Each structure stands twice: as structure tokens, then as C-alpha cells.
Amino acid sequence: MITVGLIAVPPMQLMSLAAMTVLQTANSLADDPAYRIELVSEAGGLVVTSVGFGVDTRPIGDARFDTVLVSAFAGTQAPSPSLAASVGRLAADARRVGSFCTGAFVLAEAGLLDGRRATTHWRQLSRLERAFPRVRLLRDRLYVNDGKFWTAAGMTAGIDMMLAFVEADLGEEAARAIAERMIMERRRPGGGMQVSSLLTLNPKTDRIEAVLTFAKKNLKTRLTVSQLADVAHLSPRQFSRSFHAATGQSPAKVVERLRVEAAHAMIVASRHSLDTIAAETGFADRERMRRAFLRVHGRPPQDLRRTARELAAA
């Protein structure tokens, strides 16, 4: 049985506990439970959560775990040196070490991320970079694996990382079955973008929402203004005005962002050539995809592919 210790750092973010549902579901789907999970803390006893109630923990003491995880925590307080020392001791004996969101600060304080690739929630990236310049931060990742060390971006990205753990431990079919049981639309690869274009657009009308959904499902096609206007049941002129009012951008600009997002996911999760990815995501050719990446990300897709290969090699 795989022993998993989740270190609760106060005030603990509840999404760290939610991510453990992946392992609980793995146990429920198997004839014999694969995981034994313990909630521990530096001193033991009740640990306050970010919503105010406490959770019971046992002291870290001389515990040993196959997998050590550090919870996310609210606020900007620096991890205590004693906690970092405890985490360092646990990590030395563990097969796998991970963190959720701000838990990466604890791993970094313990010196475990020096020279390693890592990530955290997009709102904390700059703070982590300033505090621990030796960490090689990756900004457009849901989770990062470097050796035995894993870091998740935070919130629901922790669920994606835990599914990756299950896939490594029990196989792809087990991870897929858990995602289905948890009613997840899809399993996201670690290289997915932290902030989705659809979320940031936040359209105010059902018509524009329907257009965005249609566009995302049909990126390989040409997607003209007239075609999108037909989906919205508006004339092209009315549609262009309504779309800009709802999103603050032109239809062409938004479609480009959606294509870049889709290409981004394919680059980090597949071995397809950049020419194939450009065709599959609706770019006329590789060069147009490169220019779009420069406009959206400030770097070409070749850089993203290079980073993905380095991570795979690591």
C-alpha cells in the first residue's frame, strides 16, 4: 500500500483536501485499497483552515511516507525554519514529494527546489521568484514534475497532479476511471495554461457564450465573422458590435487566442510536429502560428516545445 502524508500548513486551503479525493476514489474503485492517507502537521492537533474551522492532525514526529505532500495555505507568511527542516527530513526518505499552490514555498524554504523546475498559482509566481531565485519557475503549467519533486499551480490544478500520480502508480485506465467518477470534463495535461481564454473573456450574453463554445469546438475550420454571426443569429455588423461590447475584443482576436491556447496544450502534451499542430488548430501555417504566439505569449512555440522536451527528459 502506498502511504501518503499530507502536511497541513495553517491556515490550510481546503482545495488541498479536495485533491485527496482522487486517492480516495482510487481506493473505492479497487478491490484492495492502494493508498493510505494521513493528515499531519508540525505540532499535531487541530490545524485551522482558510475558512475558519480546524482539522485534526497528528504530529509529524518520526513519520515516514512513500509520498509527501505539502498543503496550500492562505496568506503570505514565510514558512517556519522548523517546518522546512521537517519537510526536508520527510523528503529525504520519500519516493515522491509534492506541493499544492503556496506549499511550493515550503519546499523552496527547505532547499528542495533549488535548481529545479517548479510552479505555483499564477498570483504567487512573482513572489516565489523574488524569495527563491534559484527555483526555475515555469509560468504556463498546471503542474511540474522534476525528478521526484512535483508542484501544482493551485486550486483545481492539484486534482490534475493527483491524477498524474495515480496514472504513474496504477496506470492510465485507473486515472481515466477516476476522472469519470469525479465527473470531470477531461483530464488536463500538466502543460495546460493556468488561465483559460474563455474564463478571462467572461461574456455577458448567452449568444456570445454560444459563439465562443462553437469557436472552441471548431478551431480547425476557417471561422469567418459571417459564420459566427449565424451562430449568434445576428447580422455580421450587429454581431461584431455585440461581440466587442461583450468581450472587449474583436472576433478575430479572440479566435486567435483560443487557437493559441489549443496549440499550447498540444505542444506540451503530444509529439506532433508544429506544422501538424498549426493545421489542427486552424492556423494557415506554422509561421502564422509563430506570430500569434509572439503576440499572445511573447515567445515562439519552439521555446515551449523545447521546455516540454527538457521536462520529459528530466
* pLDDT score at 272: 86
Average pLDDT over all residues of the chain: 89
Q: Compute and round to an integer the Cα radius of gyration of the chain.
A: 22
pLDDT, greater one: 142 or 56: 56
* pLDDT score at 203: 66
pLDDT, greater one: 189 or 152: 152
Listed in order, the ranges of the chain carrying CATH 1.10.10.60 are 197-313
* pLDDT score at 204: 67
CB 104 within 8 A of CB 158: no
Cell numbers describing residue 9: 500548513
222 has a pLDDT exceeding 80 = yes
Spatial distance between the Cα atoms of 43 and 9, rounded to a whole number of angstroms: 11
- pLDDT bin (cut points 50, 70, 90) of residue 79 is confident
- pLDDT bin (cut points 50, 70, 90) of residue 196 is low
Grid cell 486552424 is found at: 282
Q: 197-313 has which CATH code?
A: 1.10.10.60
Listed in order, the ranges of the chain carrying CATH 3.40.50.880 are 2-181
The interaxial angle of helices 251-269 and 225-232, nearest 10 deg, is 100
* pLDDT score at 103: 96
Spatial distance between the Cα atoms of 121 and 142, rounded to a whole number of angstroms: 9
Q: pLDDT tens across 239-274, in order?
A: 999 998 888 889 999 999 899 988 888 887 777 899
Q: pLDDT tens across 16-66, in order?
A: 999 999 999 999 998 899 999 999 999 999 999 999 999 999 999 889 999
202 has a pLDDT exceeding 70 = no
* pLDDT score at 314: 55
293 has a pLDDT exceeding 70 = yes
Cell numbers describing residue 188: 488536463
Percent of the chain with pLDDT over 70: 91
Spatial distance between the Cα atoms of 244 and 218, rounded to a whole number of angstroms: 20
- pLDDT bin (cut points 50, 70, 90) of residue 311 is low
Contacts with 291 (C-beta within 8 Å, 6 or more apart), sequence order: none
Alpha helices in 236-300 (DSSP H): 236-247, 251-269, 274-280, 286-297
Spatial distance between the Cα atoms of 250 and 302, rounded to a whole number of angstroms: 27
Q: How many residues are recorded in the chain?
A: 314
* pLDDT score at 304: 79
CB 19 within 8 A of CB 67: no
CATH class label, 2-181: alpha beta
The mean pLDDT of 112-130, rounded to a whole number, is: 93
* pLDDT score at 99: 97
* pLDDT score at 147: 92
pTM: 0.70
* pLDDT score at 81: 92
